[in-house]
Amino acid sequence: MVSGPSSLSLRTHTCGELNVDHVGKWVTLCGWVQYLRQDLFVILRDFSGLTQILVPQEESASKVKADLCDLTVESVIMVTGTVRKRPAGQENKMPTGEIEVLAENVEVFNVSKKLPFEIKEFVKKSESLRMQYRYLDLRSSRMQKNLRLRSQLVMKMREFLCNEHGFVDVETPTLFKRTPGGAKEFVVPSREPGLFYSLPQSPQQFKQLLMVAGVDRYFQIARCYRDEGSKPDRQPEFTQVDIEMSFVDQEGIRTLVESMLQHSWPAEKGSIQVPFQTMTYEEAMRDYGVDKPDTRFNMKLTDISDIFSSTQVEFLRSALDQPEGSIQAILVPCGAVRRKPSHEVHNGTLKSPLKKLLSASVTDVLIKKTQAQPGDLLLIAAGTLHSRPLLGSLRLQCAELLESHGRPVRDPLAFHFLWVVDFPLFLPKEDEPQELESAHHPFTAPLPEDTALLFTEPHKVRGQHYDLVLNGCEIGGGSIRIHRASEQLYVLKNILKEDPSQLTHLLEALDFGAPPHGGIALGLDRLVSIIVGAASIRDVIAFPKSFRGHDLMSRAPDTVSDKDLTPYHIYVKWPTKQGGEEK
């Protein structure tokens, strides 16, 4: 059987592949009318490119000519004819720019109505219009490329995992039950009154159970669901590359992921170097004020507390006198682009009013320590260590600001991968800071050297968790899991104060011979969007939802009749006009 993109097709070739080697060949092409030129040419397009079709002018071909000249833009036709070299001077730089096809037969499959927009203009149009006519938007070469690159990337990941490393692709259920604290899970009513399925946020429990089941190495390109209302650039359904291995350590998982990305990386995007840089959570917070640093540029946080150790400047003094009090700076090279420090800048340059409060020696040390040069901007924040994230986000804003002023900070073609490790296993709850919650999820194992602290100072325990960061975006996270029932029960019950009865099946499973295991999940939509340089994950998803979770093309979600809800034993609680709920 013939292979390739024209196998089993009405066409003999695609519109992008013809060149001088085909001259004289009798070919059949199928595609869309990109444009028509003066009754002389039709430019025919398919996913692979464009070919110039020459309209025959002889009287004997008047039917073909009429058919072609009557076409509207985006009509779909099949053309048969002979490949010719273009007359000298008429070549262009398109891949098919040296040839044209003299039409001898035409079949018109469909005449297109007038489009709401030209295809090539679509990307400039409002997002809602693009979404309403998504099938037209997807015809753009950019969206075609994005979808194809995504498909190829996933294929190569699969080959790597399945063919080279013995992973088993296992599908796990998406009709599951609500997990403890699963407030962001969609519910799906069943036909039994009061019983609901839940659409899981990840196959976390199932993949661990597969390890207990002896599957050894599992992966799945898994559809996941999260009901987050209208968060920007989130989707109610998204896809993760979900991986779990038995008899493995952190190092093993990280090496696997590095090799997988290297193996599947699109050739046209250059190559990536492994191993990736690794940084502890503590280092990331110290140097970048964030747990997912963009390491494409410097401008790190510098602790300048010691310079001010004996300062008498009131606000600096009071900052340092607090527990965890600290003064931090970032140096923005050539950053003094504004006359006055803007309101979001906590501090100015050494031309700032602060200067007169500082002694010359302090100023000198400050300039020396931060290696500030003339024209640089020094941003200083005094507060506790908890103010580091402010400087971290200021650092990113400065990069954007500089770039908007035409000063390149981040290489748009660079891909900086980074592992962040040694996260705290638990964090204080935001609303009840004396209680602890899992920094990631309750199944993460502690670092072996910190395990004893579980029973004494759990807030000090670091977890065997690792995040994968690309250009400042978290694109994945995973951990080595707890594989002993007693430890898992202790964490759930004694530290997190959660009701373990919802996880009976998992706790039981750990008691029947669970192997040590760990894994990771990569956010596929985000990864692909960074690779292709898209502004939004919506540009790498065929049919995304709007901010508000709507499908603007089909108008989902939609109303459902009371009759159709009856089998599910639910009814709608309509809000009253007063904003309350009617009974």
Residues 56-75 that bind a copy of itself (CB under 8 A): 74-75
| Minimum distance from residue 151 beta carbon to a copy of itself (Å) | 4
For residues 143 and 391, which CB has a smaller minimum distance to a copy of itself in the complex? 143
Q: Which stretch binds a copy of itself (CB under 8 A): 93-101, 310-318, 502-510, 526-534?
A: 502-510
Q: Which stretch binds a copy of itself (CB under 8 A): 82-90, 312-320, 329-337, 560-568?
A: 560-568
Q: What tokens does 317 get?
A: 């003094």
Q: Is 537 in the site for a copy of itself (CB under 8 A)?
A: no
For residue 51, list its beta bridge partners: 44
Residue of 189, 266, 389, 500 interacting with a copy of itself (CB under 8 A): 189
Say if CB 530 and CB 473 are below 8 A apart.
yes
Q: Is 215 in the site for a copy of itself (CB under 8 A)?
A: yes
Q: Is 86 in the site for a copy of itself (CB under 8 A)?
A: no
Q: What tokens does 9 get?
A: 């097709």
Say if CB 400 and CB 433 are below 8 A apart.
no
Q: Which of residues 31-60 bind a copy of itself (CB under 8 A)?
A: 32, 45-47
| Minimum distance from residue 523 beta carbon to a copy of itself (Å) | 13
For residues 147 and 385, which CB has a smaller minimum distance to a copy of itself in the complex? 147
| Minimum distance from residue 152 beta carbon to a copy of itself (Å) | 8
180 Cβ contact partners less than 8 Å away, ≥ 6 residues apart:
498, 499, 502, 503
For residues 59 and 558, which CB has a smaller minimum distance to a copy of itself in the complex? 558
Is 488 strand, coil or helix? Answer: helix
For residues 389 and 549, which CB has a smaller minimum distance to a copy of itself in the complex? 549
Q: Which position has the token pair 């640093």? A: 293
Residue of 136, 378, 382, 447 interacting with a copy of itself (CB under 8 A): 136
Q: Is 574 in the site for a copy of itself (CB under 8 A)?
A: yes
Say if CB 80 and CB 50 are below 8 A apart.
no
| Minimum distance from residue 56 beta carbon to a copy of itself (Å) | 23
Q: Is 197 in the site for a copy of itself (CB under 8 A)?
A: yes
Q: Is 180 in the site for a copy of itself (CB under 8 A)?
A: no
Q: Is 575 in the site for a copy of itself (CB under 8 A)?
A: yes
Q: Is 339 in the site for a copy of itself (CB under 8 A)?
A: no
2 Cβ contact partners less than 8 Å away, ≥ 6 residues apart:
8
130 Cβ contact partners less than 8 Å away, ≥ 6 residues apart:
122, 123, 137
Say if CB 461 and CB 446 are below 8 A apart.
yes
Say if CB 438 and CB 488 are below 8 A apart.
no
H-only helix segments in 463-541 = 485-490, 504-511, 524-532
Q: Is 252 in the site for a copy of itself (CB under 8 A)?
A: yes
Q: Which of 292, 245, 241 is nearest to 423 (CA)?
A: 292
| Minimum distance from residue 548 beta carbon to a copy of itself (Å) | 8
Is 349 strand, coil or helix? Answer: coil
Q: What tokens does 460 get?
A: 């000090």
| Minimum distance from residue 80 beta carbon to a copy of itself (Å) | 13
Q: Which of residues 113-132 bind a copy of itself (CB under 8 A)?
A: 113, 115
Say if CB 71 and CB 106 are below 8 A apart.
no
Q: Which of residues 351-380 bind a copy of itself (CB under 8 A)?
A: none
| Minimum distance from residue 405 beta carbon to a copy of itself (Å) | 39
Helix (H), strand (E), coil (C) string for 62-118: HHHHHHHHCCCCCCEEEEEEEEEECCCCCCCCCCCCCEEEEEEEEEEEECCCCCCCC
Q: Is 577 in the site for a copy of itself (CB under 8 A)?
A: no
Residue of 10, 123, 414, 452 interacting with a copy of itself (CB under 8 A): 10
| Minimum distance from residue 29 beta carbon to a copy of itself (Å) | 10
CA 80 remoteness from chain centre: 43
Q: Is 198 in the site for a copy of itself (CB under 8 A)?
A: yes
**CB atoms inside a 10 Å sphere around CB 579:** 6
Considering CB under 8 A, how many residues would be counted as binding a copy of itself? 135
Residue of 236, 383, 519, 523 interacting with a copy of itself (CB under 8 A): 236
Q: Is 545 in the site for a copy of itself (CB under 8 A)?
A: yes
Is 489 strand, coil or helix? Answer: helix
Say if CB 237 and CB 218 are below 8 A apart.
no
Say if CB 14 and CB 48 are below 8 A apart.
yes
| Minimum distance from residue 486 beta carbon to a copy of itself (Å) | 10
Q: Which stretch binds a copy of itself (CB under 8 A): 80-88, 161-169, 365-373, 491-499?
A: 161-169
